[in-house]
Structure formats: structure tokens, C-alpha cells
Amino acid sequence: MQIAAAGDRIHPLSDRSSTLNAQPVQTTVYSLDAKPPRARQRRTAERHLSLFRVGSLVVGQRRELCLIKNISAGGMLIRAYSRIAEGERISVELKHGESVSGVARWKKDDCIGISFDQPIDVIGLISSSSEGKQPRMPRIEVSCAAWIRDGAIVHRVTALDVSQGGIKIATPAALTVGAQVVVTMIGLAPTPGTIRWRDEDAYGIKFNRALGLPVLVNWLQEQQQRQLAKP
């Protein structure tokens, strides 16, 4: 389940408006990193609509909801709506009937960094069941080279996250919002898309055609193997 949060107000996902097309959208980010997510400084100029995954949080004897901002194999970053102390044990239900346990390692404002007791299978978490209709995958945090062809010019950029529907990149080059481009990454076929938004040196590109789920999962598994092979 996902909900939309704008500032301190929280709205059901079905209440989204054209705002989605007017500004960058924050959603839960999934990472293949074995380490828990770290606290990040938010730029003061950032204005995003947030569509975060909802988790069921158990702290002691109480159960409540939280917003999951970032999940890695080693932990997660959540927004909690109650007091949670550093060192407190926490259990979060990510899928129905499937919970992971960990410890609150740090706190910043209303965000809590949790370290899991055991690493989780991130790809298994986000991959849909082979039965029934398959939903789109969420954004997956990556850090690898990509190439953007804009007309006759090719830019080498850094891919920051990817989904079936698009990619977020970083580059010092001045790209034009609305431009038709082609995205290339090692292991994936060149993919046409449109630059939808810019935030300083970050750009969001929407693919003209969604990537196939098996194709993206296989590519992510290759990325995961490369990470594990690093010294």
C-alpha cells in the first residue's frame, strides 16, 4: 500500500491530482546495498509530492503505521508517528504476514534508521508473485554509469535509481526538460524516454515504454552480483 503525503498532510493515493505531473515525486526507494540507509540532508529548495510505502510497525506492545522511505538489504529508513528511542527493538511488516525485526540505530526529526537483525532479499521483496496481475515495481536505488543520447550528443551520467517506468540520473550537463532522449546502461537495451523534471543536477526520465519485469529483475540481480564481487 502507498499513500501520498504533502507536507504534514497525508492523502490516499487515489486522491492524487495533476500535481504528479508538475513536480518530482518521492516514492519508497529500494537499495541492493547490504548496509542500512543513512540519514540524508534534504535540500531546502526541494518540493516533492511523496508517495511512500506504508508499513505496519510494532514497538513493544503497540502496533501502528509508518511510512517507509528507503529499504536496503541491511535496514530501512522510516517516518514514525510516535516516540521511538535509539536502541529500541522494532518489527515492521513489509508484506502481509511477513515481518522483519531490527534495532533503531539513529533518529533525526521524525525519521528513524533501522538496522535489520538479518539481511533481507530486496529483489524477492519487490518482485511480484507469478500468480495474478503483476504490479509495477518501485524505484530501485543504484549507482552505475549510464549514457543519455540527446540528439547527436551523448552524455555519460550516473544512474541513481531505476524502475520499470523510468530512471533518475545525475549529470552536470544542462539537459532540457521535455527533450526526447535514449537511455543506455550496460546489460539493458537502449530505451527511449522523455525528460520529465529537473532538480539541480538530477533529472527524471520517463521511459516511452515500460521495461519488462523479468528484464529489470535480471538486470538488478546482475547489479547485485557485481556489488557482492567488489572487495
Whole-number Å distance between alpha carbons of 148 and 194? 11
Beta strands in the chain, from DSSP E residues, in sequence order: 2-6, 9-12, 25-27, 29-31, 49-59, 62-71, 75-79, 89-95, 98-108, 111-116, 139-150, 153-162, 166-170, 180-185, 188-199, 202-207
Whole-number Å distance between alpha carbons of 5 and 11? 6
Report how far apart, in Å, the C-alpha atoms of 117 and of each of 75, 82, 83, 223 are.
9, 22, 21, 24
Tens of pLDDT, residue by residue over 18-66, are: 334 445 556 777 777 777 777 665 544 344 445 577 777 888 877 777 8
Residue among 62, 98, 99 nearest 83 (CA): 62
Residue among 71, 77, 85, 86 nearest 119 (CA): 71
Cell reading at 216: 529489470
User: pLDDT at residue 9 above 50?
Assistant: no
Whole-number Å distance between alpha carbons of 212 and 136? 10
User: Which CATH topology does 139-229 take?
Assistant: Thrombin, subunit H (2.40.10)
User: Which CATH topology does 2-126 take?
Assistant: Thrombin, subunit H (2.40.10)
Per-residue burial over 165-179, b if 16 or more Cβ lie within 10 Å, else e, is ebbbbeeeeebeeee
Whole-number Å distance between alpha carbons of 76 and 119? 11
Tens of pLDDT, residue by residue over 62-87, are: 777 788 888 888 999 998 877 889 99
Percent helix, strand and coil across the chain, each to the nearest 5: 15, 50, 35
Whole-number pLDDT of residue 6: 38
Tens of pLDDT, residue by residue over 108-164, are: 888 899 999 999 888 777 664 444 444 455 677 788 999 999 999 999 999 998 888
Predicted TM-score (pTM) of the model is 0.59
Whole-number Å distance between alpha carbons of 115 and 138? 21
Cell reading at 158: 550516473
What distance lies between CA 83 and its chain's CA centroid? 25
Domain ranges across the chain: 2-126, 139-229
Whole-number pLDDT of residue 230: 72
Q: 211 near 136, Cβ under 8 Å?
A: no
Q: How many CB atoms lie within 10 A of CB 36?
A: 22
Mean pLDDT of 200-216: 90
Helices (H), ranges, 73-177: 122-126
In this chain, the answer to whether the domains covering 2-126 and 139-229 adopt an identical fold is yes
* 90 vs 228, higher pLDDT: 90
Whole-number pLDDT of residue 12: 36
Residue 7 binned pLDDT confidence (cut-offs 50, 70, 90): very low
Whole-number pLDDT of residue 171: 97
Mean pLDDT of 78-103: 84
Tens of pLDDT, residue by residue over 163-207, are: 889 999 999 999 999 999 999 999 999 999 999 999 999 999 999
The CA R_g of the chain, rounded to the nearest whole Å, is: 18
